Structure 1
Amino acid sequence: MSWSLWLIPPFLTSIFFFLGVITLYWSVYTWVTTKLEARQKNTTDLKKIQTIVGITCAVISIFGLQLIVRASSLSWAFTSFNLLILIFIAYFLQIWIPYWLVTLAGIGFMVLNGNVDQPLSWGYTVIFAAFYIISYFQSVAMAPHPFLRYFRTAIIFGGLLWATVRLRFDLSWATFAEEFFSYLLLAVMMYGYFRIQDRNQRIKDRLFQAANWDALTHVKNYAAYDREIAYQFQHCAKHHQPLSMIMFDIDHFKQTNDTYGHLAGDQVLEKVAAAVATVLKSYGERTNLYRTGGEEFNVIMPNLNTAVAGKAAKEILDTVAQLPIVYDGTTLHVTVSIGASEVIMKDHNPLDFYRRVGANKLPLTRPLRSRTGRIPSRRPPSRRVPAKL
């Protein structure tokens, strides 16, 4: 098509079309996830975002291009492009679409082209749906020699589909061979491209993990805390919503290191962080624990007031004080010094807030103070801990 109308080789046209769709997908996907992260929305379900963006780009690209040629004798011209989009969605993005929905889309495609009454078009739709399903399951299944399986499937189903197109439009064998070879070459190039993309994404994920998470305790680190508190402080001031924070550090941590060794200290940090993270789950997914220093931790609690922060602080005190930590046959018991407070008018920036929470941080043998009152530190189980600040 492109060669006869514009003197551009079809292979080059297909490359530009497909690269355009991939670029569109990654641009929209990056834009959506960046916007959600900027608004502190939950982006943990990236698969849902990937599915919506991927299917939208595919539908717009396939049906949009087909509108250009549907009324001409060249309505077959974008067959390779359609097959590559199928592979892109099913194999590389691993988006599951039920077979009936793929078939329904194929029927819509036939209606668009005005060939619902053609038996070969129905055969093409059935093979297309089968190609999608098999490509998807091949992608998600762990098996040896993935490229050979991928390429074999691309040859078999691509060949069947192009043979159907050749019969439907009475194409010459030369045209069939040229188009089918171009399709296979593009399929190989696409496999290499996505393998490079996948490797780069894994590197980015590792860098992101190292930049935002503490390797020892597996909680977020100071860099992540610094970004989050800056955003939440601004958000709190702008929308007049509460923002609370808890700060605690492990008592006599240096003595633990000196007495039992640094591996014992590492064990203490890991166990305390894991126990506190478990306590904080009941306070919502936006409440997060950060390791901000050697033995210092912070908890940011958006949209929660001092009363809730005080309750959480008491739970942390009790949980850590009752936590047995076994190292080299010795059971260690640790305590924490803890402080909690809520943003108030005199906090002009996150550092003011941080310092004030730090000033409230008192050891276990003294009361924990907050902006609106006091929280008793942990006492023996026989003595009642007040429920209110």
Structure 2
Amino acid sequence: MTWSMWLVPPFVTSIFFVLGVITLYWSIFNWVTAKAESLNKPVNLNHVQIWVGALCASVSVLALQMLVRDSHLSWTFTSFQLLILLFVAYFLQIRIPYWMIVIAAVAFMLINGNIQEPLSWGYTFTYGAFYVVAYAQSVRMWPHPILRYLVTTLIFAMALWLFVKFRFSLSWRTYVEELINYMILAGLMYGYFKLQNKDRRIKDRLFQVANWDALTRVKNYAAYDREIGYQFQHSVAHHRDLAMIMFDIDHFKHINDTYGHLAGDEVLKGIASTVSNVLKKDGETLTLYRTGGEEFNVILPGYKVEQAQAVAQDVFNAVAQLSVKYNESVIHVTLSIGVSSLAVKDRNPLDFYKRVDANLYHSKKNGRMQITVD
């Protein structure tokens, strides 16, 4: 805002507005993702980022513009609007269809009551072009990103503030001051998001290490332990069916001794990929876990034992047809599988696990290459 209204410099006000929107965005984003994780629901972080970012940006711009529309102060939030555009297009990389940009631009001019002004049309067209260029700069891996960011930001800011200068008859001094303030804010915004992205990448790597098996790229025992604990409690509380499949690779030690441990790794990766593809066909809620050296588990929420047996048969058949090539050798493998469902006598997840494990042991003890169900 201006000194004459709140006795606060426009630069300071812009900082608080920008930080407020970004803080609101991160707060909602973290709350949504944490809520999804607490409910043990799968969450697409990219979709959450897009929806939360678009919501925060739209509400912020429209709310502030409603306060100053049809007044001599309607230009004061120009820098804020440009920063929000960078927030949406460059940092969040939200892809907006061109037709939606046109509709939003016309609606914005109608709200401001300046749709009949030629300069407003010029400003709106340039603003839309700024979005297109900023988005392209962000999603393409071109060299010198910070230099391109600053140059692009400066060029469009000069053009857009020029429209504002002539539209509201601002002085050149005001034009230059606003441009300098805006570029400082744009630079601070770039640094802020770089720090946030670095922190998020570190958290993502820690999450991957904590939940995913590095070799097979399927979830690990820690992820299984959390999931079975949740599914067990949920099934008991709501009287829902719950089944489990456990399998391991027949004569896996012989494969390592004959072909080497690298060959064994290729077998593990081949089986993990094959079984994961089978599970995708049988249901989106099914996930494969590597819980031991050559031991894998599948948790089946809402499945009766007969349904779980059908999935186990699909897994068994798919692996039986698998051929793993290693150097000049072709390795064929089979599975021993145990299947069971939650019983009234199961007092905790470990009781359930032991019964499934007993069925797997029965398959191995009685000749391997078979499925045991109780």
Q: TM-score, normalised by structure 1?
A: 0.89
Q: Distance in 1 between matches of 2:132 and 2:325?
A: 51
Q: Distance in 1 between matches of 2:46 and 2:315?
A: 34
Q: Distance in 2 between matches of 1:188 and 1:204?
A: 25
Q: Distance in 1 between matches of 2:271 and 2:187?
A: 50
Aligned in 2, Cα 1:21/1:292: closer, same or farther, shift over 3 Å?
Answer: same
Residue 325 of structure 1 aligns to a residue in which SS?
A: strand
Aligned in 2, Cα 1:253/1:170: closer, same or farther, shift over 3 Å?
Answer: same
1:306 aligned residue: 305
Q: Distance in 2 between matches of 1:103 and 1:5?
A: 33
2:277 aligned residue: 278
Residue 294 of structure 1 aligns to a residue in which SS?
A: coil
One-letter code of the match for 2:373?
S
One-letter code of the match for 1:11?
F
Cα distance, 1:328 vs. partner? 4.0
Whether 2:373 is the aligned partner of 1:370: answer yes
Residue 43 of structure 1 aligns to a residue in which SS?
A: coil
1:30 aligned residue: 30
Q: Distance in 2 between matches of 1:138 and 1:331?
A: 47
One-letter code of the match for 2:305?
T
Q: Distance in 2 between matches of 1:214 and 1:284?
A: 21
Gapped regions of structure 1 (runs ≥ 5): 372-389
Residue 217 of structure 1 aligns to a residue in which SS?
A: coil
Cα distance, 1:227 vs. partner? 1.2
Q: Distance in 1 between matches of 2:98 and 2:40?
A: 36
1:379 aligned residue: none
Whether 2:179 is the aligned partner of 1:180: answer yes
Cα distance, 1:29 vs. partner? 1.7
Q: Distance in 2 between matches of 1:205 and 1:65?
A: 35
One-letter code of the match for 1:185?
I
1:375 aligned residue: none
Q: Distance in 2 between matches of 1:323 and 1:171?
A: 73
Q: Distance in 2 between matches of 1:236 and 1:24?
A: 36
Residue 13 of structure 1 aligns to a residue in which SS?
A: helix
2:149 aligned residue: 150
Cα distance, 1:148 vs. partner? 2.1
Q: Distance in 1 between matches of 2:244 and 2:84?
A: 48
1:95 aligned residue: 94
1:15 aligned residue: 15
One-letter code of the match for 1:55?
A
Residue 289 of structure 2 aligns to a residue in which SS?
A: strand
Correspondence list, 1:182-221, <5 A:
182-221=181-220
Stretch moving more, 101-110 or 187-196 = 101-110
Q: Distance in 2 between matches of 1:267 and 1:105?
A: 53
Q: Distance in 2 between matches of 1:152 and 1:106?
A: 24
Q: Distance in 1 between matches of 2:267 and 2:98?
A: 52
Q: Distance in 2 between matches of 1:52 and 1:329?
A: 51
Q: Distance in 2 between matches of 1:70 and 1:331?
A: 73
Stretch moving more, 326-335 or 154-163 = 326-335
One-letter code of the match for 1:350?
P
Q: How many pairs are equivalent?
A: 370
Cα distance, 1:235 vs. partner? 2.0
**Which deviations, in whole Å up to 9, do the C-alpha atoms of 1:200-255 show, x marking residues without a partner?**
22222222111111111111100111111112112222332211110112233334
Q: Distance in 2 between matches of 1:257 and 1:99?
A: 57
Cα distance, 1:71 vs. partner? 4.4
Residue 48 of structure 2 aligns to a residue in which SS?
A: helix
Q: TM-score, normalised by structure 2?
A: 0.92
Correspondence list, 1:183-332, <5 A:
183-332=182-331
Correspondence list, 1:35-74, <5 A:
35-44=35-44, 46-74=45-73
Q: Distance in 1 between matches of 2:69 and 2:231?
A: 53
Aligned in 2, Cα 1:369/1:68: closer, same or farther, shift over 3 Å?
Answer: same
Runs of 4+ in 1 over 6 A off after TM superposition: none
**Which deviations, in whole Å up to 9, do the C-alpha atoms of 1:351-383 show, x marking residues without a partner?**
111111111112262664323xxxxxxxxxxxx
Gapped regions of structure 2 (runs ≥ 5): none
**Sequence identity, in percent?**
58
**Which deviations, in whole Å up to 9, do the C-alpha atoms of 1:152-194 show, x marking residues without a partner?**
2211111111111111111111111111110011111111222
Q: Distance in 2 between matches of 1:122 and 1:324?
A: 64
Stretch moving more, 96-105 or 51-60 = 96-105
Stretch moving more, 343-352 or 63-72 = 63-72
Cα distance, 1:38 vs. partner? 3.1
